[in-house]
Amino acid sequence: MLNYIWAALIIISVIVGFISGRTAEVSAGILESAKTAVNVVLGLTGMMCFWTGMSAILEKSSAVKALSEIIEPLINLLFPRIKKETKAKEKIVMNICANVLGMGNAATPLGLEAMKELDRINPSTNASESMMLFLVINTCSFQLIPTSVISLRYNAGAVNPYDIIIPIWITSFLTLLSGILLCKLLERTRRSVI
């Protein structure tokens, strides 16, 4: 549906531009937007390739297991039903680390792998509590280094693209905390109703 809305807005804008006699501005706007889109995509693609490669190196080295052991108590607290599933834990750790480092789209394949592992150990056809909590954590993740936003701000010509780090820390921490608390509250409410 959103695709149709965007297409309609673009078509209407072009038609109004031509009717009002602003053909040159419309053409310049289209070309400038295309140029900007290509620059943004190239910048983000380079960063995504770098971080995806780094995550593959970390996964093949013993760094993931070491990191997994460091945050294992937190993972056990949040996901009590997957204590014995080390593969699922490793995938969750990799995804959380990718999100904390602000890898953006590079975290997506790791998140999909973690969700597949959670689905594999899920006895039900419905989403498990662990799957729902992982989705909330993945969506509301805390970002220590918001590389995607910094890259976008740098490409847009920001004087200091890093000046948003502290506000992002505050908002992403509060969002993550709220999401986890709401998810745990809904889990308890659901259990008490059943």
Residue 181 CA neighbour count, 13 Å, CB half: 6
Of the candidates 137, 134, 96, the one whose C-alpha atom is nearest the C-alpha of residue 116 is 134
Q: Is the pTM of this model over 0.95?
A: no
Whether 17 maps to a domain, the answer reads no
Residue whose structure tokens are 């983000």: 44
Whether 46 maps to a domain, the answer reads yes
Give the per-residue pLDDT at 64. 67
d(CA 32, CA 16): 19
Arithmetic mean of pLDDT, 8-22: 90
* Token output for 161: 């693209």
- CB atoms closer than 10 angstroms to residue 146: 22
What element of type H or E holds 154?
helix 147-155
Three-state secondary-structure class, residue 42: helix
Whether 79 maps to a domain, the answer reads yes
Whether 2 maps to a domain, the answer reads no
Whether 40 maps to a domain, the answer reads yes
Range of the domain at 118: 25-193
Whether 108 maps to a domain, the answer reads yes
Give the per-residue pLDDT at 185. 92
pLDDT over 90 (residue 182):
yes
The total number of structural domains that make up the chain: 1
